[in-house]
Amino acid sequence: MLLSKGIYSGIMLLEVLLVLGTLLIYFLFSKKKEETLPFKDGWWGRGQKPLTKEDSSIRPFKVETTEEELSDLFRRLDQARFTEPLENSCFHYGTNSVHLRKIVSYWKNQFNWKKQVEILNKYPQFKTKIQGLDIHFVHVKPPRLPEGRAAKPLLMVHGWPGSFYEFYKIIPLLTDPASHGLGDEHIFEVICPSIPGYGFSEAPHKKDFNSVSAASVFYELMLRLGFNEFYIQGGDWGWLICTNLAQIAPNHVKGLHLNMVSVSKLGLTHLLSVLLGQYFPGLFGFQDEDVRRMFPFLKKGLYRILSESGYAHIQATKPDTAGCGLNDSPVGLAAYILEKFSSWTDIEFQNLEDGGLERKFSLDDLLTNIMIYWVSGCIVSSMRFYKENLQKGIGTQKHEKLTVQVPTGIASFPNEILHIPQAWAKKKYTNIVSFHFMPRGGHFAAFEEPELLAKDILQFVDKVEKEQLWKKKGE
């Protein structure tokens, strides 16, 4: 009797151990891998890769314009065909054409492209060939460096429908913080490249140029410029490219700063936290501000994604169709791009007849960004980036399954399209050093709130440097 009981409990114990063992193995293998993302080499030029070595010189570059370019633009603006908006539609149907007419009038009569080109050229720009493409970048060194100090290299990556120009207001705050009341502990030299297919960077001639390709190209750029260790910052596509760069070269990236985060692996916890997070925030690691920004979830999450992602859907599937007319109609291009500068700065701007465009930006700034797309003819190639990144679906690619161990700083702006709480971000970014709720600002952080963003970057870098955090990363 006793013996059979003993055998019985023995079997039970074995069963328990087996279950525990399986669970343990499951957890060990299901944990996101900490391996690095492989560097993605490629050849994106026309035709076959030549046998000769690629020219790796860095050539100075200046933006130029011609009378012909201007008169062609004016003719198109003059002959633009508008469609009357529906009564009382504000910006609910997209860019309101009555307001668009006013902008076009300014564009024709007051906007001075020649003057703006001089502004663009105030920072030194260069081009260099990497993986078969001419890569454009801005490289600004500090105007003055105190004795014995070195500038910290900082790579800043733009997104869509932005450009390197978005950083023009924040650059001086980072290269010359002292003159702007931001102290002089950390002084940066800033590198702002244009993503291949955007602005003055050549567009890839081959398929499959995705964020990992861009990250690899920018990694080569930084190495070519002689930097062994550097900081990186980005939002929109810049968020993903910088994330990939941190995954490819964690030993070179001292710190990763983001003004936008997105998650692509959604699981049961996410679903539960969306359903219950409002009522039990603590349970899901939500702070009060998280709750304020995310709920009601249907309105701020699901419906917002649906109502704002039409452009991404068409660009991820038919970019050559979507961009075709926009490369031929500057007014169409402006309408398409300005709509984002309205809703992504503040979703409530849709309720305004003028889309709130000039509340945060000047028309000169907005039009200069648009002109970059127009004069370079890059709208179609800029849209292709969506297809190359999203065509296989969200959450399916290798880099989406890998984590980031590099020290990370996140500036979470209140009017960003979607709010991602730290509780969700830290599953991917395992080494979040700072996460701050910014008091105001939307998607185009550097453009709209350069000072707030600069301050957050500085405090992040300060933390990383003081605690020498980049040395503490695991191998």
Partner 1 sequence: MLLYWLRSGHKIKTIDMGDGWWGPGERPLKGKEDASIRPFKIETSDKEIEDLHQRLDRFRFTPHVEGAAFHYGFNSTYLRKVVAYWRNQFDWRKQVEVLNKYPHFHTTIEGIDIHFIHVKPSYVPHGRAVRPLLLVHGWPGSFYEFYKIIPLLTEPAKHGLNEGDVVFEVICPSIPGYGFSEAPHQKEFDSIATARIFHKLMNRLGFREYYIQGGDWGSRITTNMAQMLPQSVKGLHLNLVFIARQSLGRLICIMLGAYVPWLVGFTREDVRRFYPYMQKNVYDLLRESGYMHIQATKPDTAGCGLNDSPVGLAAYILEKFSTWTDKSFLRQDDGGLESKYSLDELLTNVMIYWVTSSIVPSMRYYKENFSKDPDLSAHNRVGVYVPTGIAAFPQEIAHVPRVWAKDVYKNIITYSYMPRGGHFAAFEEPKLLAQDIMQFVQKVEQL
**Torsion angle of C-alpha atoms 368, 370, 372, 375, degrees rounded to 10:** -110
Strand order through the sheet with 253-258: 58-61, 125-130, 133-140, 188-193, 152-157, 230-234, 253-258, 408-412, 432-437
Stretch that binds partner 1, among 73-81, 178-186, 286-294, 436-444 (CB under 8 A): 73-81
Interface residue with partner 1 among 30, 52, 66, 88 (CB under 8 A) is 88
- Which of residues 97 and 368 has its CB atom nearest to partner 1 in the complex? 97
Of 139, 346, 443, 456, which one is the catalytic site residue? Answer: 443
Rounded Cα distance, 72 and 52, in Å:
39
Among 63, 73, 97, 168, binds partner 1 (CB under 8 A): 97
Nearest distance, CB of residue 314 and partner 1, angstroms: 3
Instruction: Return the number of the residue (7 or 306) whose C-beta is nearest partner 1.
Output: 306
By CB under 8 A, tell whether 369 contacts partner 1: no
Q: Does 67 bind partner 1 (CB under 8 A)?
A: no
- Is 236 designated active site? yes
Among 331, 342, 361, residue whose Cα is nearest residue 450: 361
What is the Cα–Cα distance from 255 to 463, expressed in whole angstroms? 10
Candidate segments 83-91, 154-162, 242-250, 394-402, binder of partner 1 by CB under 8 A? 83-91
Q: Measured from the CB of residue 130, what is the shortest distance to partner 1 in angstroms?
A: 18
The strand pair at 230-234 and 152-157 is best described as parallel
State which of residues 87, 147, 288, 475 lies at the interface with partner 1 (CB under 8 A). 87
Question: Which CB atom, from 327 or from 430, has the smaller least distance to partner 1?
Answer: 327
Q: How far is the CB of 114 from partner 1 (least distance, A)?
A: 21
AA identity, residue 282: G
**Catalytic, out of 236, 290, 346, 456:** 236
Kindly state the tokens that stand for 22: 């399986």
Query: x/- site string to partner 1, residues 23 to 52, per CB under 8 A?
Result: -----------------------x------
Interacting residues with partner 1 between 108 and 167 (CB under 8 A): none
CB of 65 to partner 1, least distance (A): 16
Q: Which of 8, 26, 82, 279 binds partner 1 (CB under 8 A)?
A: 82
Spatial separation of the C-alpha atoms in residues 448 and 110, rounded to whole Å: 22
Which residue matches tokens 């409990």?
Answer: 9
Report in angstroms how near the CB of residue 86 gets to partner 1 at its nearest: 5
| Minimal distance, residue 47 CB to partner 1, in Å | 8
- Known active-site residue 139: no
Establish whether 158 is a catalytic residue: no
Provide the mask over 314-353, with x wherever binding to partner 1 is found by CB under 8 A and - wherever it is not.
Answer: xxxxxxxxxxxxxxxx-xxx-xx--x--------------
We find the least distance from the C-beta atom of residue 387 to partner 1, in angstroms, to be 6
User: Given 134, 386, 399, 456, which residue is catalytic?
Assistant: 386
Binding mask 383-412 for partner 1 (x = CB under 8 A): -x--x-------------------------
Between residues 163 and 381, which has the closer beta carbon with respect to partner 1? 381
Rg, the chain, Cα only: 25
Look up residue 50 and give its amino acid: P
Q: How far is the CB of 100 from partner 1 (least distance, A)?
A: 7
Cα angle for residues 388, 139, 330 (degrees, 5° grid)? 55
| Residues contacting partner 1: total by CB under 8 A | 59
Shorter beta-carbon distance to partner 1: residue 289 or 328:
328
Cα 289 from Cα 278, distance rounded (Å): 11
**Cβ within 8 Å of residue 181, ≥6 positions away:** none
Considering the complex, what minimum distance in angstroms separates the CB of residue 324 from partner 1? 4
Residue 72 interacting with partner 1 (CB under 8 A):
yes
What's the rounded Cα separation, in Å, for the pair 259 and 246?
A: 15
Specify the residue, 207 or 292, whose C-beta has the smaller distance to partner 1: 207
Comparing CA positions, the residue from 419, 453, 415, 414 lying closest to residue 434 is 453
Query: Which 168-207 residues touch partner 1, going by CB under 8 A?
Result: 204-207
Q: Which is nearer to partner 1, 244 or 315 (CB)?
A: 315
Interface residues with partner 1 (CB under 8 A) are: 46, 72, 76, 79-89, 93-97, 100, 204-207, 306-311, 313-329, 331-333, 335-336, 339, 377, 379-381, 384, 387
